Every structure is written in C-alpha cells, then in structure tokens.
Chains A and B, each alone.
Chain A
Amino acid sequence: MKNGLVQILSQPMDRRTAITVAGCAVAGAATAAASVANAINPFASPESREASRLEWQRYFQENYRLMSEEEKTEALLRLERLHQLKHGGRISVSGAEPIEKVLFGYAFNVSKCRGYLECVSACIRENNQDRASGMAYIRIHEHRNGEFDFSKASDTFDHPVPAEGHFYLGTQCFHCQNPPCVDVCPVKATWMEPDGIVVVDYDWCIGCRYCMAACPYDARRFNWQAPEVPEADLNPNQHYLGNRMRQKGVVEKCTFCIQRSRDGRNPACVEACPTGARIFGNLLDPQSEIRWVLANKKVFRLKEDLGTDPKFWYFMD
C-alpha cells in the first residue's frame, strides 16, 4: 500500500487529472466553467467576481498533502475570504499540524452511557454538520439488555432515557490504525495523520463513496445536498481537515474534533457527556487517562477480527 501511495502521490496529478481518472470530467468542467463565466462577467459585482476567482483557484488547488507551506496558507485564507464574501461573517480556518509524540485514542464506558444524546447534539454544533438532512457522526445504539446485535438495536429512539431494560453504546469513526477506508480511496483524498486521526480533504474527495463501503463501522457520511448551517449557529473556529464547511457530493466523518484536539482540548462529545462515559487522550503518554483505562479495565473493540485496529475501545465498570 505504501508503495502505491508514494507512487501516486509523487506523480504530478492536478484536480483535472484526478477527475478524468474518475470519469467525472463533464460535471467537473461545468462547475469550473460556471465560476469562470462569472469571474469575467463585467456586470457581476466585484465581490461576486472575487468569489468566482477564488472558487476557480480552489477548484484547481492541490491535494492538501502535496501543498507547499505557502499553498496551504493560501488555501486557508481563501476559505476564510470566500466565507466572508458569500455569507458576510468571519471564520478562522486553521491548518494546525499534528503534535509530536501524540497518538489519539478514545474509550467509551458502556455502563455509563444512558442515551441522553448530549454528545450527538454537541458534535453537530461543533462540527457544522448539515442541519437540513440531520446528519450526525455519532450514533447511540439502544440495545436490549443481554442482546448485542446492532441489527436489532435502535439509533433513532426518542423516548425518555434510559429505557427500562436497555443499555446504550455509541459508535463513530474509530480512527483505525489500519483503516480500510483509506486503502480504497481512488484519489487519496482520505488518509491517516501522524497523530492517528483519519481525515478527508473535502476539496479533493470526488464523492465516489468507496470509503463508505469499505468502512466496517458505518462511520462515514455523504453530503447528498449542499450542507446548510444557519450563519448564527456556525462554529467559526474551523480546521481545514476538520469542521470547515463541506460541499455537496463529498464524504465527511468524525475527526476527533481535530480543531480542538490539536489545540489540547477534548473533543466536543467528551466535554458534553454528562455521565463521563467518554475518555480521550494520548496513547503515547503512560500517565494519560486513556492509558489508565486500557491498563485497568477489560476493554474490547468492535469487529476486532477484521484487523482494522481501531483506536476506540469499549469497557464496562
């Protein structure tokens, strides 16, 4: 896999090549042509012409991992300016790099989760997920006691919780150390960062949804329509590989709140959980809470036999 990756990444492949490879040239050209038409339209306002020019540049920018430092800075500023031009508000898009000697891991206490969905709600707000389609990275599965079958569990309950005779278990992206979703991406739009976070470059993703098929945990979400977040509800503190606004036709998922975790903070779900069922930290730090849990609790992972090596463990009191 490594060889193939290096090979593909070392080939100069611009956006157009990638699209051609995927056989989507017609749709791609139409989008690009529209922004060019507006950029040179003498009757358009200066703002809308600037926006079109920036969209055009954005359309042909590199895969994030191949960008030089200057190109990365340009891409981040471009997103901030584009938002200002289109919506008036200000956002900050960070490109914070992974912290050295950090590998993120997560633990979920099945005995403590009571189905309050505070985590889901906080995640949606933190990560600017589409309100119209009700997208949510986290699913909380309500299982009947003594039964551990996801096909029989409900993740759409809306009655008072905890329901008698049930237990609750949450799933989201597990940031597998051996992620099958990354292997299958035909354009290398998704990868694992050195701190273990599996990310997507939303500007490189062609929406083929291979990664969704490959993920054994139903962790990825697809934007069937352009995601909508009311400006007043928008979280303006964004990261390029995290909660910045996605567009129609791309895949997104949990990033362990990269915009927070690389800033030393806990993911929004961990902070919001009222029962303390969620534990997050640095797997390489022997003093961390997550390491204490791994050393002192009987932990298990889902579908361990697949060899995906998730960095997300479950345990019970």
Chain B
Amino acid sequence: MRFALAGASVVSIFVLAACGGSPGRPPRPMSALDIVPAPPGVVERAAFMEKAPCTRCHTVPLAAMSPVHPAAHWGVAQRHAPNETMQCQTCHADPVRGELRMLGGAPVGFDESHRLCGQCHARQQKDWAGGAHGKRATGWASARVAIGCTGCHNPHSPGFGRRLPAMTRKEAAGE
C-alpha cells in the first residue's frame, strides 16, 4: 500500500497558532469553521482508480458531450442526498478537469476527500482527524496513516448496506 504523506498543512498550522492565543487568554473555542487538520498521512487512492481522472477517457467538456454512451457510468447512482441538494457537479468539476471541486469552486484532489466531504460532514471530519471515525492503515505503533473517506464509503452511495453477518454464532451459544 502506498501512502501520500500530507504533512501538517500550512492551514492547520495557522489554525493551531490562532487557537493558542497569548498567555492568560483562554484559547478560542473550536467552531465548525475551523479547518480540521488531517492526520500525518492519508492512504493514496487516486493512482489506483480506474475511471479517474476523467481526462483518462474524456477529451471534451461535459456540456459538449453526447448523452448517448453513458455505459461506463451505469454503475453510478446518486444515493447520497436528494437531487435538489446534490448533483454530479456538486463534487465533480465541470467542465471536466480531472479533479473534484469544493463548494466554493476550488479544486481538490481525489486523495483529499476528507476536505471535500468535511464541508457537510464536519463532525465526522473532526472525529476522523482525531481518530474516532474511520480506520487507520498502520498499526498502533507506527505514524498514523488514515484511510480517507472514499477508502471505505462509496461517495455516490455512502451508506453501509444490510447483509448477513460474516459467520453465524448459533453454534457458539455455549461456552
């Protein structure tokens, strides 16, 4: 597995400094507007994605595309939020630029899903950055490398389904 080491971003250092304040002054309480620092490492995913960046297949902007051959994306259904809240373009840049975009329009890479998803899911993002949400790719003793949001959740249908357990415990009811 390869890891993209994000390091402490400039933004997060700035936030930490701002929180510290001068001695004697209580630190500013965290608010949803604070940018939550990412853990030291996030598992790299973009390099292993088959259908990204979009420019791997597409050469013309989305608007100029004929709607006739959507077969490559038939598996994708938007089951994330109602259509009035989210459409493809909410996260995917348009015209096709091979990247995702923040709500404000700024580009964001496929390996930084925590920034993108955290715009709405701020509580989950904070828990993920701290270690209470999601999974780490390393053992407890190594530097922390976290699995990004899309490493576990399908962004188009992020819920976990209902299924049979991995095994049955009926026979183990005794000791």
Contacts and interface: CB of A to CB of B under 8 A. Distances in A.
B140 A117 contact: no
A120 B169 contact: yes
Contact of B140 (A134, A135, A281): A281
B87 to A, nearest CB: 28
Interface residues of A, number: 52
B131 A279 contact: yes
B170 interface: yes
14 contacts: A120-B169, A133-B175, A136-B172, A155-B173, A156-B168, A160-B163, A161-B165, A274-B152, A274-B160, A276-B133, A279-B132, A280-B140, A289-B131, A297-B132
Nearest to B127: A317
Interface of A: 99, 107, 109, 112, 114-118, 120-121, 124, 133-136, 139-140, 155-162, 221-222, 224, 260-261, 263-266, 273-276, 279-282, 288-290, 292-293, 296-297, 315, 317
Nearest to A129: B172
B interface, by DSSP: helix, strand, loop or mixed? loop
A116 B142 contact: no
B64 interface: no
Interface residues of B, number: 30
Contacts of A109: 132
B169 A265 contact: no
Interface in B105-151: 123, 127, 130-136, 139-142, 144
Given A121-B167, A264-B139, A288-B140, A134 B172 contact: yes
Contact of A296 (B130, B141, B144, B162): B130
A136 B169 contact: yes
B168 A158 contact: yes
A263 B138 CA distance: 12
A224 B144 CA distance: 42
B166 interface: yes
Given A109-B132, A292-B132, A317 B163 contact: no
Given A117-B166, A264-B142, A280-B140, A293 B131 contact: yes
Contacts of B142: 264
Contact of B166 (A120, A134, A162): A120
Contacts of A273: 135
Contacts of B173: 155-156
Interface string B28-58: 0000000000000000000000000000000
B134 A276 contact: yes
A121 B164 CA distance: 13
A289 B136 contact: yes
Contacts of A115: 165
Given A264-B139, A264-B142, A289-B144, A158 B175 contact: no
B165 to A, nearest CB: 4
A221 B171 CA distance: 15
B174 interface: yes
Contacts of A266: 136, 139-140
A161 B167 CA distance: 12
Contact of B163 (A116, A136, A221): A116
Q: Considering the complex of A and B, which 3 residue pairs feature the smallest CB-CB distances, nearest first?
A: A289-B131, A264-B141, A134-B172
A315 B168 CA distance: 26
B164 A161 contact: yes
A274 B163 CA distance: 13
A256 to B, nearest CB: 10
A135 B139 contact: no
B165 A117 contact: yes
A265 B131 contact: no
Contacts of B127: 296, 317
Nearest to B170: A156
A275 B172 contact: no
A135 B175 CA distance: 7
Contact of B165 (A134, A157, A260): A157
Given A134-B171, A136-B169, A261-B140, A160 B164 contact: yes
A140 B165 CA distance: 11
Contacts of B152: 274-276
Contact of B175 (A121, A224, A317): A224
Contacts of B141: 99, 264-265, 282
Given A109-B132, A261-B140, 4 more contacts: A114-B160, A120-B166, A224-B175, A282-B140
